[in-house]
Structures are given as C-alpha cells and as structure tokens.
Structure 1
C-alpha cells in the first residue's frame, strides 16, 4: 500500500545540516542502549481490594526494562522521548557518481525533496543509526547506469518520480556492488552503531511497493517469469554479502502486495524473511487493514477469526528486526478527530505482530500527549512471553476490508474463516475463549468507522456478556510460557470495562476469586486492578458477573507480573 510521508521528512534536513560541521569520523564504538524503567508509577492493588481509575491503565511495575534489540527510531534522535536511533540517508548517485570510482565519502545528495549531507559528515555523530540507500529513482541512481545497462525508467510513482528497473540483472549487479563497497569494504555492516538498513532501496521513499513493477508489466517490458527469476536470488545475494551482519537487513515489502502477478506475488515478503533478513511494514496506523494475515510476521487468521503468531520463526528469535512505522495519524495526508484511539490501536497492532522496532516522529506520533501509553509500548516491544511484564487481550470485532471482497487461495474454503472479514481481538499471550456460559458478543457501544481512511473499515471495541442468553462471563487462557515465567510471583489483573449497569464482577481462578469490582455507573471507560490469588496451575481464569448483574462490556485485559 502506498506510504504517505509528511512531517517526518522535515526533521531530517535539520539533523543532516547539523552533521555537516563535523571534521572527522570517530572510531566506532557501541552507543549506549536504553536501560531505563517505567516513567510512571505502577497502579497496584493490595490483596483483598480493587483499585479503579478512569480510562486506560498502561502502568508497569518498576522492575521492567526494555528488551534487547528493541527501540524507537526516527530521522533524528530525541533523548527526551527515548528515541535513540537516528537515520543516515544516502543516494546511490551520491556514493558512486562514476562507474569505477571509489565510494565518495564527501559528496552530498538529495532524494524526496530532502538534502543529504556526505557519508563522512553523517557518520561523524557517534550515536546509533539506521540507514536507507535511495537507489531506484531516476535522480537517485548514477547517470551512467542507464547507458551501462540499456534501461529506461518507469512511473510515475505517487510522488511523480520515475524509477529504474531494480529487477534488471545489470542494474541489480551494479547496485549490489555498491552495497558491497559501502557495507563490506567501508565496514559499515560491522559498525556497532548501525542497528539496521532498509533494503533494497526502491521505490518511493525506498519502500518496496509494487506500483513501478506494475507499470513495467503494463508496458510489456516485464513478465512474471522474469520478475520472479530476479526475486529468487536478490535477497540471498544481500544476505550472503552481509554475512554475519545479515540480521541488520530489513526487507521493506509486504505480504500480499498490490502487485500485478496475482497469487504468485502474495507470499514474496515471507520468502525474503526466509532468506535470512528482518521485515518492516509502514502502515500499522491502519490497524485493521491488510496485516491480519501476514506470513512474513507469522501472523495467521484462524477459523474463529482470532490471530495466532508463530513465534518459532527465526524472524522472532530476537536477533532480527521486526519493524513498523507509526507516525501518520494527523499527518502524511491522514486526518482523524480521535488521535488517541488511532495511536492506541496502531500500537496494539504493532505489538500483536511482535515488532521490536517502531519508527516514530515524536510530534506526529503524539508522544507528549500520550506519554504513559508510549512508555508502555517502549517497554513492551521485543519482549518474549518469558520476559514480558504482561500478557494482554484487546476485546473487539473489526473488519479487515482487504479480505472483504476477495477470499484468495488462503480462504477459498469458507470454513477457513467462518466470519470473514471480521477479526476477533488483538492478543498477545492472553486469549479470550468462547465456551458455554462464556461466549463473548459483539457490541456497538464503541464503534469506529473508517478511522484515517475507508480501508480501515469498521471496528467495534469491546465485547459483551449476554445474560439473557446464559453468557455471564469471559474465559481467558494464559500462554503457558508466560505463566511458567511468572511462577509463584504475584499476578495483577487489569480490566478495562464500560462503567454502566448494575452489579459487580470478579476474576475467578483455580486458586480462588478476586475481590468484587463494583460498577459506579459513570458511563465512561474505567480500569480495575486486582491481585489474583494465583492461577492454580491451569493457566486460565474467568471474569464472572455477580448473580443478577447487568451485562458487562470489557475492552482490554492485562495480566501483569508485579514482581520480576
């Protein structure tokens, strides 16, 4: 899907201009990593009592620290917001303006209406960085490439730019040679400051969308066989080139791209990951769209609409980068009158995909407006069930409009997804289960329609009991790895509920029940915190209404390890 970039681009100019004043590259040393704990106090509850606050509760206990190989990244660093990884952006023409010349460390460059300082000056900053090599644009590539390879450009893209055919073996061979010179010969791949690099460097904003590929197909200059022949070796070329540093490579394409080859290009992002690199998506702001079934991330839609992530995949080992970009809410051509909702849902989606890195721009990402939420994201991303402070489930029904009109091969059998295109919940190591007496029901008390754009469809936040039908609670199943890591340590549950109706509710485990949480009929969303008596070895618990209570709507449940 085309990515629209706005204010994120503006901040780059200032940091790169500032970088031009440095005189020499320092000897690379590993930059400091984020080891800071939660910035807000933990909302706890003593045994035998409940604590209820208004709104969402993102608090974490003081023992929590960021996961290894995780963080926020942007165009420039911001210590205040714990964004510690800045960008180094270059163009192919800037680095290799002449065919047989050495890499030019002194030349400046430009792309996407931005000015780039020289490689030398950008590397003068001792801080951690990530990289983009803008390669495919007609103004990004060296002028000699067109004559050398006898190619023409295709486009325009959605920014009005023409691009070279990166799939042409001559073009690819020369680009690969430049990658070799920069990352191997110049030693950048092994630089401890380099966190990762977006590849392959095409197309708009160096993000591997398929509009240019489709343009070449439409002119008759490219067919499926030729494209797939190149694709079959492109990523192993880069992985072999980077060797022991291949985990720093991040493929910028997506599963089920909007391409010209039908089912033949559906799973190509997974193939890139299988070749031995990380993965990035740029559009989790549209939290309901296109990323439910995401094989490169191991996310699969189940017949009941729940999403399951295969965490045994190498990409989730902790060595690789699993990234997204969450800065386009009231920027990049998007508008919304509910930015908190958009930010919250996009980050829940990112964490459901098990991301460990998120591109942000503190202003457009609303860091200052929602600091506790973003701090929870910082300390959650990249965690494993054995290390995470919490497991959670966001109760909801939302339509993935990508699958609304076309089932594709994956869902040709209606039984493969019974209620297509409705996705049930976003979950991470805590799963809501429908069972007799505890079937969760869709409710329209908190409906959101086409947030940011029509593709995002309709989402109904929260699920309800149905006392009249005999459904008086919700059953939740805890991932056994999370439960085992918790052991006999104290567990705290946090339940975000709509505070309407009469009667209380409690959380029941095999070891006993929690204190009753009473409703005050404020009409708003509130979060109750209780200490659980233990799971009793079952790794399950039930949220149960008191006898005679009215229906209850729940939006979010977190199970928190109060002690590390």
Structure 2
C-alpha cells in the first residue's frame, strides 16, 4: 500500500496525542465532562472498587428489555492479573494506576560510563525530572527511553560510532540509525546499566517498558528507515541482519523479566522493503517481547491481519485469533492506545461510536493493557462501557465473565488494493470486507440462518478516510429463508456451565417476536414494538444448558419481520 500522508498520520498518532495528553493532565486533576451531550449514567456505588461499578442487569422472570447497549457484568467480575489502564499520570478515581517514567538517553548517560541519576532531560518538547525523582514513591509505572533523536542521544555516541542522522521526521527531529551495530551496542549498554545493574527490570513497580526507544515519540515506525534507504545508506540485508538479533538481545538482557518488554512496531509497517518487512513484528514477539499498537482508534484499518497478535482473516471474512500463543500467556504485555477521538487532530460527531468500536477492536486482539487519558477517552461520558473494558482486558476463555460477537460488515481499506501477504491468494471471498469482531462467540452461517449485511446503522470514514465504511449489525432475510442467527460458544468458556444470560442488542423495528433457542429449549418471546430504538434483550438460560449445547440460535417467530442485531453476549449470572 502506498505510504500516503493520511497513512502516515494514522501510524503516528502519538505525536499529537502525547502533547494533548500532557496538556490535559496539567490542566485538570480530575475528569471533567466534555461539551458533547451524552445520556446521564447511573451513579456508581461506592462498594468494592475492584469489581463492577454498576449493577448487573439480569433477566428477571426470563426476559428483560432495556434501551441502548448493555455493558453490565456480574458482581463477581474482577480485573485480570497483569491488566489495566495506563497513562502519563495516575488517576485512581478512573482506575488508572500506572503512570509513566520518561527519560532521554542523553539525560541518563551524558558521558560514557555510569548513569547520571540526578540530571533532568527533555525530548519531544517535554521536560523530564531526574531518574531518582521520577522513581520516588511506591506507585507502579511504565517507561520510555527516548533514545534515537539527535537531541535525545548522548553527543558522544554519534562521535564514537561515526554516524550521520536522518530526517527531519514529521515532528522536526533528526534521528541516529538505531540499526547501526555501534549505536545499538551503546544503547544496550545503557539498558543494561539502567535495567539490570540498577535493578529496574526486577522492580515490581515496573509494569513494562516500550522498546527500542525509536523513533518519533519512541514508537518504532519506519519513516527514518525509509529515509536511510532513500539516501542509499541502508539495504535490506543490513537491516535484517540487525533486526534478526536486536530483540533477542533485549530479551536476553532482561532475562526472566523479558515479559516486561513491549515492542512498539507493527505488522505490515509502512516501510521501504515491500513484503520483506511485513512480518517483522511477529519476529519480535517470537523473541519473547510483548506488542502494542498506537492507533486502534482507526478500528477497521490495518489491524485485521495482525500475526504478532495471532489475528488472521479467514476466507469467509471472520477474524480468527489464536490466544494459545505465548504472547497471550498472561505474563506479557499486549497493549493498545485509545484516547484520540476528538483530539490529536481527529474529529468525530459520534464519539460514543468511535470509543465503542476501538475498544471492541482492542479486546478482539486480546489486549491486557490500554493507554488512556480519561478526559479525551470519554471516561466521564461512557462510564459503564469503560468499566466493562476494565474488567474484560486480559481475561481468558476460562476466566472471562462474558463471551461476545459484534455483528457487522466493515471494510479494511489497507487490503483493498494490496494482494500481498498470506491472504493474497484470492481465498478471501469478500475482500476487503471483514465480518464481525468476535471473542469466544462466533456467528455461523448455516442453511436457514445466513446473516446479511444491514443498512440500518452505517458509518463511513470515522476519524479518517482510511477507516472505511462499516455496516453495524447483521439482519435476517425471512423472504429468502434465513430466519435467524446461529452462534457457537468456545467450549473453553467455563461460565457456560453455570447460570447464564444471553444479551441481544437489536433494532426494535418491524413486527412480531424472536426467541433464543438452545438445544430443545426456547426462551419466552422477545416482543418488538417497532419504535425504531436500539434495545438489549436479556434472556435467562437454564443452568448448564449452554455447556451441554454450546450453540444457540436467535430465531424469528413465524411471520415475523426481519431482525437486525448488532451485539450478542453470553454472560455468566449469579
């Protein structure tokens, strides 16, 4: 795919987002409501701060219907180990417990040799307190070492290695070639002094560290790699020779704490080497590192085929994610960053939709950590949704309180014209359209239950043109013989063995009812009024029924009008 200006902005959201984040956090100490209107939310109870902040909406006598989306979870739900929100500053009231520690390489090693723990520093227009000052206190933190910038790196490194800089980048900074073996060797020595000799890698307060510390905003995009290739100073062989050992170097350095390393690159980077650099992020993960993406706000774009996360497009357009891979073993970091909605140069008149979809995408990728800034992330406006996200991150099929399928057809424009990659063999039937976002619950087309694209809720170019068009919701086609939707539940979803509810978010349009059918059992009818409002029906399922029959159908009553549904959840109930 061509490296367009819009693609560059998509990949580099951190530039403006970090400045916006710092400004917002300096301006306010608590979340304040944004100007855009939002429905009033229930006041969360003051009880157990770790469990759900809102009451679980159960099924009462068998079926309960409520307007809007339903994110409620049972009172027993708890955050997964090694999961949470992180930001520049902690905000306990928002469950943001992990703050940043930012340093420049020049700051901590202005001269070759021992670390300088008392010096202040700067990078990206930001000023950093000394290492010792930032490490004071018992609270948890995550780290970035701003390393590659001409004004971030120690002056002696360029002299010692005899290297030139490349740039300027889109933020005006020139960068040292981090792939140069001399530069890399000195950076590894600094990492060793800081994280091994000074004990930071083993410090239980350190949640994780972004690596390798390049380029703009210390995220590993390919703008400077491309600049070096264009200058004739870098070829594929040299780049791969460094890349093949770089991540093993870091993993070996951190030893038993290598799970705290987070590679900041991406699958299919916008780089100069064509298909030869497509899968290099997966190579970093294979070396033992975690992974993060900085632009999941563009929830439809570029992230469907994501081997580093184990996510792949199937021929039918569904996404299959292998959560048995080591990167999802619960010890590593799988991160996303969701705060740029009406910020960082982006705009939307429907922030709820943008927030909802980006978080669904992040959870489909099985993230266990999400970077947020409470105000631009709309924590105050959508507290029930963010509480659900908090209690969903890092869960497994065996521990999750719910399994779900977001029903939709959305185009991933990254693959629109690019036939390269493992899905470039023509097998993807409706390329570049992706069917659904699913997490342990899969919608299955069967005779009489084929789902069809719905035009009831269509969104185009949200935040950016790259984000394409999404049809939220799938519909039946009773006239064509398709009178329901079939769902298969992952057998590992242990909650199915107990009392469960199925929640169906649907458009209340048309006449007559639908039911939820499991084996020989059918629910009471869910009656429609035809008022055109999105609603969620909660249907009680007899205990153990889904464990015995891990497949169910949402079925139209005889003669009923077509139904559009956009979100289906199976939730354990108490």
Alpha-carbon distance, 1:486 to partner: 2.3
Please give the per-residue CA displacement for 1:285-315, whole angstroms capped at 9, x wherever unaligned.
0000000000000000000000011111100
Aligned pair 1:218/2:230, yes or no? yes
Aligned pair 1:409/2:421, yes or no? yes
Residue number in structure 2 paired with 1:497: 506
Residue number in structure 2 paired with 1:259: 271
- Among 100, 115, 126, the residue aligned to 1:87: 100
User: C-alpha separation between the residues in 1 aligned to 2:234 and 2:16?
Assistant: 32
Residue number in structure 2 paired with 1:152: 164
Alpha-carbon distance, 1:537 to partner: 1.4
Aligned pair 1:6/2:29, yes or no? no
User: C-alpha separation between the residues in 1 aligned to 2:291 and 2:502?
Assistant: 33
Residue number in structure 1 paired with 2:304: 292
User: C-alpha separation between the residues in 2 aligned to 1:61 and 1:511?
Assistant: 27
Q: Indicate the SS of the match to 2:548.
A: coil
Alpha-carbon distance, 1:206 to partner: 0.3
Residue number in structure 2 paired with 1:58: 71
User: C-alpha separation between the residues in 1 aligned to 2:473 and 2:95?
Assistant: 31
Alignment of 1:272-351 (within 5 A): 272-351=284-363
Alignment of 1:141-290 (within 5 A): 141-290=153-302
- Among 110, 129, 132, the residue aligned to 2:141: 129
CA contact (8 A) 1:278 1:320 kept: yes
User: C-alpha separation between the residues in 1 aligned to 2:562 and 2:490?
Assistant: 27
Alpha-carbon distance, 1:12 to partner: 4.3
Please give the per-residue CA displacement for 1:368-426, whole angstroms capped at 9, x wherever unaligned.
000000000000000000000000000000000000011103223212x1110000000
Q: Comparing 178-187 with 7-16, which one deviates more in the overlay?
A: 7-16
User: C-alpha separation between the residues in 1 aligned to 2:515 and 2:25?
Assistant: 53
Please give the per-residue CA displacement for 1:41-61, whole angstroms capped at 9, x wherever unaligned.
0100134x3111111000001
User: C-alpha separation between the residues in 2 aligned to 1:559 and 1:504?
Assistant: 20
- Among 432, 440, 447, the residue aligned to 1:436: 447
CA contact (8 A) 1:111 1:134 kept: yes
Residue number in structure 2 paired with 1:76: 89
Q: Indicate the SS of the match to 1:535.
A: helix
Residue number in structure 2 paired with 1:138: 150
Alpha-carbon distance, 1:535 to partner: 2.2
Please give the per-residue CA displacement for 1:162-201, whole angstroms capped at 9, x wherever unaligned.
1100000000000000000000011100010000000000
User: C-alpha separation between the residues in 2 aligned to 1:225 and 1:38?
Assistant: 52
Give me the TM-score of the superposition, normalised by structure 2: 0.93
User: C-alpha separation between the residues in 1 aligned to 2:14 and 2:158?
Assistant: 28
User: C-alpha separation between the residues in 1 aligned to 2:531 and 2:296?
Assistant: 32
Q: Indicate the SS of the match to 1:414.
A: coil
Alignment of 1:14-53 (within 5 A): 36-47=50-61, 49-53=62-66
Show structure 2 runs of 5+ residues with no match.
Answer: 1-10, 28-47
Per the alignment, do residues 214 and 120 of structure 1 end up closer, same or farther by CA in structure 2, a change over 3 Å counting?
same
Q: Indicate the SS of the match to 1:212.
A: helix
User: C-alpha separation between the residues in 2 aligned to 1:536 and 1:167?
Assistant: 52
Per the alignment, do residues 359 and 111 of structure 1 end up closer, same or farther by CA in structure 2, a change over 3 Å counting?
same
Q: Indicate the SS of the match to 2:492.
A: helix
CA contact (8 A) 1:510 1:536 kept: no
Aligned pair 1:530/2:530, yes or no? no
Residue number in structure 2 paired with 1:475: 486
May I ask how many residue pairs the two structures share in their alignment? Answer: 542
User: C-alpha separation between the residues in 2 aligned to 1:129 and 1:359?
Assistant: 12
Q: Indicate the SS of the match to 2:101.
A: strand
Per the alignment, do residues 12 and 188 of structure 1 end up closer, same or farther by CA in structure 2, a change over 3 Å counting?
farther
Alpha-carbon distance, 1:160 to partner: 1.4
CA contact (8 A) 2:24 2:375 kept: no
Residue number in structure 2 paired with 1:425: 436
CA contact (8 A) 1:39 1:375 kept: yes
Give me the TM-score of the superposition, normalised by structure 1: 0.94
Aligned pair 1:516/2:522, yes or no? no
Q: Indicate the SS of the match to 1:559.
A: strand
Alpha-carbon distance, 1:82 to partner: 0.1
Alpha-carbon distance, 1:156 to partner: 1.4
User: C-alpha separation between the residues in 1 aligned to 2:448 and 2:125?
Assistant: 59
Residue number in structure 2 paired with 1:23: none
Residue number in structure 1 paired with 2:372: 360
Aligned pair 1:377/2:389, yes or no? yes
Alpha-carbon distance, 1:487 to partner: 5.1
CA contact (8 A) 1:502 1:550 kept: yes
Residue number in structure 2 paired with 1:542: 553
User: C-alpha separation between the residues in 1 aligned to 2:280 and 2:491?
Assistant: 32
Q: Indicate the SS of the match to 2:546.
A: coil
Alpha-carbon distance, 1:8 to partner: 3.9
Alpha-carbon distance, 1:14 to partner: 9.6
User: C-alpha separation between the residues in 2 aligned to 1:4 and 1:178?
Assistant: 25
